[in-house]
Each structure stands twice: as structure tokens, then as C-alpha cells.
A = this chain, B = another copy of it.
Amino acid sequence: MSRRISETTVRRLSLYLRILERMEGQGTSTVGSEDLADRAATTAAQVRKDLSLFGSFGKRGLGYDVPKLAAELREILGLDRRWSVALVGAGRIGSALMEYDGFPDRGFDIVAVFDVDESRRGSRWSGATVMDVDRLEEVVRDRNIQMVILAVPGSAAQEVADRAVAAGAQGILNFAPVQLRVPEGVSLKDVNLVMELEALAFALTQPDVEE
């Protein structure tokens, strides 16, 4: 039960969970791998394989209990606890992120917001006051912040990342369009919107349009 789990598997698990929670809300009590696969745009075998990496959660001849499987997935994904997240950069992207009530719903509490720009400071964002980025280390350390969302210009991203990591952050979600270097043991995820559009452009350019 301790293989190395691929990125794509984690994304699928995340998706299964979202689907299961919607079904749960609709009162569906049981689901088969076939049905779940359809909704997640994958195959039944893939669903079963993904889940089997972590245990046996279904009943043969019957399928999976929806609330039970959802709970298992939450535990697997580390969503059965709350995470303290800091947001660095209170510009447009940063403020768009604050809108997402999907974050607190999922256990991610944005407990601190930072910006270099004085004019943005002081305002309160869903409970967090925008602070001077000088206080990053202090706050990350004191509030035991595990993850940092970087919504700063590319030129500042590496420096902020280094400081966050030095202060104890273990995960970084990077919106700046630069390739960050982080030490071993720190997780990094990039969201690059231009790259997504480029991937679309490539798909539309190819003669064999497929996905």
C-alpha cells in the first residue's frame, strides 16, 4: 500500500471525490466502477485500479458505497483535516482566488494574505488582513502555514518561494510563469494559464484533433 502514486492518478482521485460528493448530495447510496468511470470520462478498469492502490473499498457484485468511498478518498487525499494556506500577491489573480469558496469548503483556510503594495494592505479578505510581505517568514512560522499560493510577478516568485520554504512551507502553488526551484521534500505545482491556451492551440493546429 505504499507505491509511488502518479500525478494523473491523484487528479483522477480528486475527480472521483467531486463526483461522489455530488452523488452523495443527491442521495445516491451506491455506485459501480462503470458508472463512476463514465462520469469521470475514464474506464471502469482504471477506476478499480486507482482505488486498489489504496485498498479494497467496494463490495463484489454490488459496487461502492458512495459516502464510504467519499470518506476514504478524503482521507487518502489528506482532506480529512484543515490546511493553513498563505496567499502572496493581492492583485487580480490573488483576489480572484479569494472568491473561490471552494477553498474553505475543501479544508483550505487562507489564513494570511501578503502584498508588497502598500495601497492593498490593511483591507480584510474573508478574515485575513493583507499584510506587508516583509512579515512572510514570521507569519508562516507562527501560524504553522503549510502551503503558499504565489500570485506574484515572475521576477519576485523565486525569492518569495525561497523565503516561504525557509520559514517552513512544504507546498507551493505557483501562478507565476517561471520555473521555480525548490529543495527536495517541498512540493510544487504550477498553474500556467498561457500554457493551457497553448496546449489548446496545439490541439487545434494538429490535423488529428483528439482528446
Contact = CB atoms under 8 A, between A and B. Distances in A.
Interface of A: 2, 4-5, 7, 10-11, 13-15, 18-19, 39-41, 76-79, 83, 85, 91-93, 95-100, 102-103, 106-108, 146-147, 170-173, 177, 179, 185-189, 191, 193-211
Given A96-B96, A202-B78, A204-B147, A209 B185 contact: yes
Contacts of A208: 2, 4
A99 to B, nearest CB: 4
B193 A189 contact: no
Contacts of A78: 198, 201-202, 204-205
Contacts of A76: 202, 205
A21 to B, nearest CB: 11
Given A96-B93, A209-B185, A197 B19 contact: no
A187 B201 CA distance: 9
A175 to B, nearest CB: 9
Contact of A173 (B147, B200, B202): B200
A44 to B, nearest CB: 16
A208 to B, nearest CB: 7
Nearest to A40: B179
A108 B204 CA distance: 13
B83 A201 contact: yes
Given A2-B207, A7-B199, 10 more contacts: A18-B177, A92-B95, A93-B96, A103-B197, A106-B197, A108-B197, A147-B201, A173-B197, A188-B211, A189-B196
